[in-house]
Amino acid sequence: MTWEIFNAIGTIAFAISGAIVALEEEYDILGVYVLGMVTAFGGGAIRNLLIGVPVSALWDQGLLFLMAILVITVVFLFPLRALKQWKRWGTFTDAIGLSTFAILGALYAAEMNHPLSATIIAALLTGSGGGMLRDVLAGRKPVVLREDIYGLWAMLAGLLIGVGAVNQTWGLYVLFVAIVILRMMTVHYKWRLPHRTIKQQEDVSV
């Protein structure tokens, strides 16, 4: 039951996030739906693929499909003025999606007795996979690769679940809330991971 609720929240959050990006890119209404759906279900599809669950398990979520379509419709019809305030809400719903999917990805991987590294990577890719697909399809550089501390919190969830530090329902709820708060604090206080650059030369990479 925990899982279903988590999954529904994350799916809706990512559907909204994808729909908003599509609006920003001036995609038409179908593009808004497609990008919303891809963002909402892409992370789960990548997770299923990576940990060995049939990707077609996606289709058992009829109710989630309907919810995602509904919420995308709401975004599309929303007053423009309200959407401009999206920044705050977008960060929040996205944080919920990140937290949810990271935990779910880690739980799936842990349950299948994959090694710790797999659990951490599954958490990272499940949490950020939908957003990566969204950004690639919108012609953007994936936000998870370039900005703020995003994937790190997903990996933290993967680590804690992978080593067995969190394995009970209430523990998962606490972890869920903690990841959301950490992500919101990251945005609010503009925490950054270290990064360094090498000047891009004519043709450095091959």
Q: Taking CB under 8 A as the rule, which mask of x and - marks residues 79-98 in contact with its own copies?
A: -x--xx-xx--xx--xx---
Q: Specify the stretch interacting with its own copies by CB under 8 A; choose among 1-9, 137-145, 160-168, 173-181.
A: 137-145
**Measured from the CB atom, is 2 or 116 closer to its own copies?**
116
- DSSP reduced 3-state for 113: coil
In the complex, what is the shortest distance from the CB of residue 2 to its own copies, in angstroms, rounded to a whole number?
Answer: 24
Q: 138-167 mask for its own copies (x: CB under 8 A)?
A: xxxxxxxxxxxxxxx--x------------
Asked whether 120 and 155 are in contact (CB, 8 A), the reply is yes
Task: State the nearest-atom distance from the C-beta of 157 to its own copies, in Å.
Answer: 14
Based on CB atoms, which residue is closest to its own copies, 2 or 25? 25
For the beta carbon of residue 130, count every other beta carbon within 10 angstroms: 32
Q: Can residue 177 be called a binding residue for its own copies (CB under 8 A)? A: no
77 burial via Cβ count (<10 Å: 0-12, 13-18, 19+): exposed
CB-wise, 5 or 55, nearer to its own copies? 55
| Phi-psi label, residue 59: left if phi above 0, alpha if psi -120 to 50, beta otherwise | alpha
Indicate which single residue of 5, 70, 136, 165 sits in contact with its own copies (rule: CB under 8 A).
Answer: 136
Which residue, among 41, 53, 162, 73, has the nearest Cα to 110 in the 3D structure?
162
- Helices marked H in the chain: 2-24, 29-51, 62-77, 80-84, 86-111, 116-137, 143-146, 151-162, 169-188
Considering only residues 11 through 70, tell me which ones interact with its own copies, judged by CB under 8 A: 17, 20-32, 34-35, 37, 45, 49-52, 54-56, 58-59, 62, 65-66
